[in-house]
Amino acid sequence: MCVELLSYADLAARLAISREAARALARRRRLPRSRSGDGKALVSVDFSELRYVPRPRRGRRADPIAASMARIEAFKIEAFKAEIARLEAIAAGYRAVFERESERADRLAAELKQAAAETAAANERAARLEDEVADLRTGRRAGDSIAGQAANRLGRLAAAIVQADRAACR
């Protein structure tokens, strides 16, 4: 029968329990207590008689409302994750359409630039032909001879071709 004087912290360490559990055990077993010189409580313990086995901790009973709220929150989170995945898939589809249309717009812009250059060249040719036709009509290049009449006819024919070309371009 070996009695030891231990503080609550030492008793807790020896029994592998918390300090508060050691204090409650000393109160429950009505172990003799005293104060040390530095003011700490000391407990007289005979370990051969104590025979203490710590009980496993009992968990708190789950609050049914909190549990159902947790399930609802988990369900909401899963629903949000599914919605995010769905929206990301839609966004990926739109992104592919955007890229395809962007490439198409670039091709059309290049074609438009080329068409504008061809139109400018055609307008320049048409202006030269109109000048030549005007010269031929006024007779500046040809006299009243047969060659001049042929040149006038040729000028009228060229004017008709220019007008037909313009009508076809519109």
- φ/ψ of 143, rounded to 5, equals -85, -165
> How far from 90 is each of 82, 83, 84, 85, 100, CA to CA, in Å?
12, 11, 10, 9, 16
For the segment 58-63, the average pLDDT, to the nearest whole number, is 66
Which pTM value belongs to this model?
0.36
pLDDT digits 0-9 by tens, 16-38: 888 998 899 899 989 999 998 88
Pairwise CA distance, residues 43 & 4, whole Å: 8
Every domain of the chain and the residues it spans: 3-50, 64-169
pLDDT surpasses 90 at 88:
yes
Q: Do residues 126 and 134 lie in contact, with contact meaning Cβ atoms separated by under 8 Å? A: no
